Structure 1
Amino acid sequence: MKKENCKRCLMNTGMSDVKVFNDGTCSSCRQYFSEIKRVKPAYYDSLESLLASIRKNKSKKYDCIVGVSGGVDSSYTLVKAIELGLKPLAVHMDNGWNSELANSNIKNLCNKLDVDLYTHVIDWDEYRELMNCFFKADVVDVELLYDNAMIAVNYNLARKFKINHILAGTNHSTEGIPMPSEWNWFKFDKRNIKSIVKFYNGPKLKTMPTFGVINYILDTYLRKIKWIDFLDHIDYKKSIALEELVKNYNYKPYEYKHYESVFTRFYQGYILPNKFGIDKRIVHLSAEVLNGDLTRDEAVQILSKSPYSSEENLNLDKKYFLKKMKWKESDLTNYLSRKKRNHDEFKSEKKLWNNLVRIYSYRKK
């Protein structure tokens, strides 16, 4: 069946759960706009009540945690937290793939804001072998390893310092287009990680933290730790935020979203398109079109170009990836040629999560 393209954003019917209606708009962008009315209040009626709740925190040194990756969203969250009079602990997770630019951005920001930075470093040999297990499994979401560990680090530190609010750069403005379900995996799936690693005789998880459904329930409902999409509480415009970061904090921008990590850049710019036929820029650019940062024509023009600004930069990243992973060129070729496998071919917590969500929704009604 021929794919239908949305006339308002870049999504199309070749993606799961995307439907194009008679007026030419799609289910994804309709959902984007309908969710705006819900996400702005988020957990609180106003920004003032959120700030008041954060300031009641029991910890005297810090009243919130802000996870920082070096990207625009998380960097601006830290800036606004300070401007609004909060006392954040900046938290970063280093999995061995940080670009020099990301490290520089984080350092400049924390120094200028005079904010304490905690960096959790995962042993590189351990992390490389964990990644190799995921590559052997041929599953789509290799970055589940990083995303899950990043979540775990933030919650672990919230418990340690008795902090009840984690302010994240996740937001509806730049991330309100839902990712097609076959493009990534459930991020709280500790069981999936351990199942894949065990199946391929991977290393013990010594420095790699993990986070599962039970962890979420205990931290959210027993310990009352809240994960806040902080930028949904303010009038957030990414283009304006970037200008402010560049002007005031010597911030250096990246070419595309999440390119602060060398692996993410190579994964999204080369591995996903060549092995899985996925270009995540479609989702990211669609959000920028809907929030007014780009016109649709401008987004289409960007999408028509390679995810890499030059063949030279691609080759540099490929060479770096092969050396760091201890792969040969033939290993990469073989990996790209193999058929993909689904995450749920391994043990998973996703079904448990879906069942709990259904029960919660039923009881709420």
Structure 2
Amino acid sequence: MKYCKKCLFPDTKPELSFDVNGVCDACNYADKKEKINWEQRKNELHEILEKYRNKEQTNYDCVVPVSGGKDSSFQTYYIKKECGLNPLVVNFHPRDFTEIGRKNIEVLKELGVDCIEFSANPVTYKKLSKFGLTELGDSAWPEHIGLFTIPVKIAVAYKIPLLIWGENPQLEYGGPAAVSSSQYLDKEWNEKHGGYFLDKIKPENMLKYGFEKKDLLPYFYPTDEEIKSIGITGIFLGYFIKWDARKQLEIVKKHGFNVLDTNNEGTYTNYENLDTKHVSMHDYFKFLKFGYGRATDHACIDIRNKRLRRDEGLELVKKFEGKIPKKYYNEFLQDYSLTEKEFLEICEKFTNKEIFKTNSDGSLLRDKNNDVEKIKYDN
């Protein structure tokens, strides 16, 4: 296991590549961002927006998918206030919404937008979440699908051809060059990089696990025919403007966006992953599978933006990352009908044991809190 020489990303991160100097593609893109003509990119954006603006005012100008987090709040602000468009914002309602998440959705609406909050069948949603946890190691699996399918389905239903997403995660966090350099989010991108595991298991595959197709409708992406009939186009706002999450956070805070009074579990920041209770569990399983979690994500971005030195970021990662989230732990076990022993067995099932210290029998070495320890945190 090796780490980027500029940031803290490990080579176990899916789709991440390193150059001959041991620098990851996310860091290399960060350097390229400084050379991009952002004024020209912004002009390109406005040309696209004018093309799709509904000049007769008989329909919405675009769809903006939102979770209520800092990024989608900024997307909504930018499209509504800076660009003067009339967006329809669409939210896939999570089954474990937090109080602060609810507040931030309401704050987002106060920017002066219409909003559709889609609530999926809770019985099916819960079953899919349990399947995601036990079979894929991700309890947020159905949510990650719905976040990308529902806005597109709404766009088709309302005949709104333009969707505006936020950052391209393949750019900000590293990924294949051809994908990360694209301004578009289409069905192929969604299946490979959006709804997690869609390249391995699709909703239609769930029929063999006892699910009925009629109950899985929210998780099906529109057909190619439906997409073409409306001319659906999805673009990344982060391709056209210089994406800086912390600067954008300060903008949305001025419009009422709420943050935590202390850091969120698994990281040192207080402004991200606020809308759902169990997202920290999703990040914990990422740590078990790949040896890094949310603190690493945040530290790497802060290092690239010269807000942290690499050694400072490493200390923050060691301090905050890799612990079983405890805030909603008992509620999580109850919700998924698990004993702690069963939960730890699921953790063991998805842990990459080449990354973590083990006992002589090959089982994970755990401390008194059942937390595991990585073999190495740096090169």
Q: TM-score, normalised by structure 1?
A: 0.75
State the match for 1:165 in structure 2.
Answer: 162
Once residues 12 and 191 of structure 1 are traced to their aligned partners in structure 2, the CA distance between those partners, rounded to angstroms, is 23
Shift of 1:117: 1.4
Aligned: 1:273 with 2:287:
yes
Shift of 1:286: 2.0
State the match for 2:278 in structure 1.
Answer: 263
For the residue of structure 2 that corresponds to 1:262, the secondary structure is coil
Q: How many residues were matched structurally? A: 327
Structure 1 range deviating more: 288-297 or 81-90 = 288-297
State the match for 1:239 in structure 2.
Answer: 246
State the match for 2:99 in structure 1.
Answer: 100
Shift of 1:97: 1.6
State the match for 2:319 in structure 1.
Answer: 305
Structure 1 range deviating more: 274-283 or 327-336 = 274-283
For the residue of structure 1 that corresponds to 2:202, the secondary structure is helix
Contact kept in structure 2, 1:20 and 1:26, CA below 8 Å: yes
What code does the residue aligned with 1:158 have? A
State the match for 2:335 in structure 1.
Answer: 324
Q: Higher helix share goes to which structure? A: 1
For the residue of structure 2 that corresponds to 1:66, the secondary structure is strand
Once residues 223 and 243 of structure 1 are traced to their aligned partners in structure 2, the CA distance between those partners, rounded to angstroms, is 36
State the match for 1:116 in structure 2.
Answer: 114
State the match for 2:359 in structure 1.
Answer: none
For the residue of structure 2 that corresponds to 1:118, the secondary structure is strand
Shift of 1:80: 0.9
Structure 2: gaps of 5 or more residues: 177-190, 265-269, 353-379
Once residues 154 and 57 of structure 1 are traced to their aligned partners in structure 2, the CA distance between those partners, rounded to angstroms, is 22
Q: Sort the Cα spacing of 1:338 and 1:206 in 2 relative to 1 into closer, same or farther, 3 A.
A: same
Shift of 1:73: 0.9
Aligned: 1:155 with 2:152:
yes
Contact kept in structure 2, 1:148 and 1:190, CA below 8 Å: no
Once residues 11 and 249 of structure 2 are traced to their aligned partners in structure 1, the CA distance between those partners, rounded to angstroms, is 32
Once residues 200 and 56 of structure 1 are traced to their aligned partners in structure 2, the CA distance between those partners, rounded to angstroms, is 44
Aligned: 1:46 with 2:44:
yes
State the match for 2:72 in structure 1.
Answer: 74
How many percent identity over aligned positions? 21
Once residues 209 and 100 of structure 1 are traced to their aligned partners in structure 2, the CA distance between those partners, rounded to angstroms, is 25
Structure 1 range deviating more: 239-248 or 299-308 = 299-308
Contact kept in structure 1, 2:15 and 2:175, CA below 8 Å: no
Once residues 203 and 257 of structure 2 are traced to their aligned partners in structure 1, the CA distance between those partners, rounded to angstroms, is 40
What code does the residue aligned with 1:93 have? F
Aligned: 1:198 with 2:207:
yes
What code does the residue aligned with 1:155 have? V
Q: Sort the Cα spacing of 1:6 and 1:338 in 2 relative to 1 into closer, same or farther, 3 A.
A: closer
Shift of 1:164: 1.1
Once residues 4 and 342 of structure 2 are traced to their aligned partners in structure 1, the CA distance between those partners, rounded to angstroms, is 38
**Deviation string, structure 1 residues 215-244 (Cα, Å, up to 9, x no partner):** 364455443111121233234322121112
Shift of 1:35: 7.4
For the residue of structure 2 that corresponds to 1:69, the secondary structure is coil
Contact kept in structure 2, 1:12 and 1:19, CA below 8 Å: no
Once residues 218 and 294 of structure 1 are traced to their aligned partners in structure 2, the CA distance between those partners, rounded to angstroms, is 48
Once residues 151 and 39 of structure 1 are traced to their aligned partners in structure 2, the CA distance between those partners, rounded to angstroms, is 29
RMSD: 3.5
Q: Sort the Cα spacing of 1:141 and 1:58 in 2 relative to 1 into closer, same or farther, 3 A.
A: farther
Structure 1 range deviating more: 127-136 or 5-14 = 5-14
For the residue of structure 2 that corresponds to 1:97, the secondary structure is coil
Contact kept in structure 1, 2:13 and 2:290, CA below 8 Å: no
**Deviation string, structure 1 residues 232-265 (Cα, Å, up to 9, x no partner):** 3234322121112222224325636434321212
Contact kept in structure 1, 2:92 and 2:147, CA below 8 Å: yes
Contact kept in structure 2, 1:32 and 1:176, CA below 8 Å: no
**Deviation string, structure 1 residues 6-44 (Cα, Å, up to 9, x no partner):** 221112334456555554433442255457878969998
Once residues 260 and 221 of structure 1 are traced to their aligned partners in structure 2, the CA distance between those partners, rounded to angstroms, is 33
Q: Sort the Cα spacing of 1:174 and 1:23 in 2 relative to 1 into closer, same or farther, 3 A.
A: closer
Once residues 275 and 48 of structure 1 are traced to their aligned partners in structure 2, the CA distance between those partners, rounded to angstroms, is 41
Q: Sort the Cα spacing of 1:172 and 1:50 in 2 relative to 1 into closer, same or farther, 3 A.
A: farther
Q: TM-score, normalised by structure 2?
A: 0.73
Once residues 224 and 35 of structure 2 are traced to their aligned partners in structure 1, the CA distance between those partners, rounded to angstroms, is 26
State the match for 1:225 in structure 2.
Answer: 232
For the residue of structure 1 that corresponds to 2:91, the secondary structure is strand
Contact kept in structure 2, 1:39 and 1:172, CA below 8 Å: no
**Deviation string, structure 1 residues 289-342 (Cα, Å, up to 9, x no partner):** 22445443342232122248x98xx3231112112223222321222232579x
Once residues 330 and 42 of structure 1 are traced to their aligned partners in structure 2, the CA distance between those partners, rounded to angstroms, is 56
